[in-house]
Amino acid sequence: MTDRTGQCLCGAVKFKATNMADTFSTCYCDACQRWAGGPYNGVSVPTENLEYEGHAHIGVIKTTDFAERAFCKECGSGLWWRLTRGQYVGKTSVPVGLLDDRSGLVLSDEMYSDYKDHTNVRPEGVAQMTSAEAEAVVATFTDGDTK
């Protein structure tokens, strides 16, 4: 268990999580892929251990009879997935990508693994572009500002 911090893309919503699991789960279900734009990597934390800043910027949508998903109203980042019925109520799944520091997190399991398709596989030898290479391209159309 680790204490971690994170934020959405624009920074309007920030959070602190205490005793967050050191494992994360990847889900390939249709809902997660549509929400996250691809496989969803989530880390679980007791909801009571989450403290958010920027509540006015948080939108919550009930996506099924048993779950809700939240997002930043300013930038659209997904903020959490949370069951509202059943045995896992009281836990929140936070997107791994929101965390400021992902060190020590280990993949524990994959859900809806039968939904995994060829786009979810990373073949050996696929072209790689580093952040420096990508930012050099971005700098050519942003007067050097790459963020």
CA distance 43 to 80: 10
**Sign of dihedral through CA atoms 130, 41, 23, 7?**
positive
**Residues near Zn ion (CB under 5 A), total:** 9
Compute the least distance from the CB of residue 74 to Zn ion, in Å: 4
Q: For residue 131, give the H/E element and its range.
A: helix 131-139
Any contact of residue 10 with Zn ion (CB under 5 A)? yes
Stretch that binds Zn ion, among 43-51, 73-81, 100-108, 119-127 (CB under 5 A): 73-81
Instruction: Name the residue nearer to Zn ion (CB basis): 36 or 45.
Output: 36
Stretch that binds Zn ion, among 20-28, 86-94, 100-108, 122-130 (CB under 5 A): 20-28
Instruction: Name the residue nearer to Zn ion (CB basis): 2 or 25.
Output: 25
Where in 26-65 is the site for Zn ion (CB under 5 A)?
A: 27, 29, 32
Burial (0-12, 13-18, 19+ Cβ within 10 Å), 4: buried
Compute the least distance from the CB of residue 99 to Zn ion, in Å: 15
CA distance 55 to 49: 16
Any contact of residue 12 with Zn ion (CB under 5 A)? yes
Q: In 3D, which of 15, 27, 26 has the Cα closest to residue 52?
A: 15
Bridge partners (DSSP) listed for residue 72: 58
Stretch that binds Zn ion, among 23-31, 45-53, 88-96, 101-109 (CB under 5 A): 23-31
Tokens of 61: 């949508």
Instruction: Name the residue nearer to Zn ion (CB basis): 2 or 115.
Output: 115
CA distance 141 to 147: 12
Footprint of Zn ion on this chain (CB under 5 A)? 8, 10, 12, 27, 29, 32, 72, 74-75
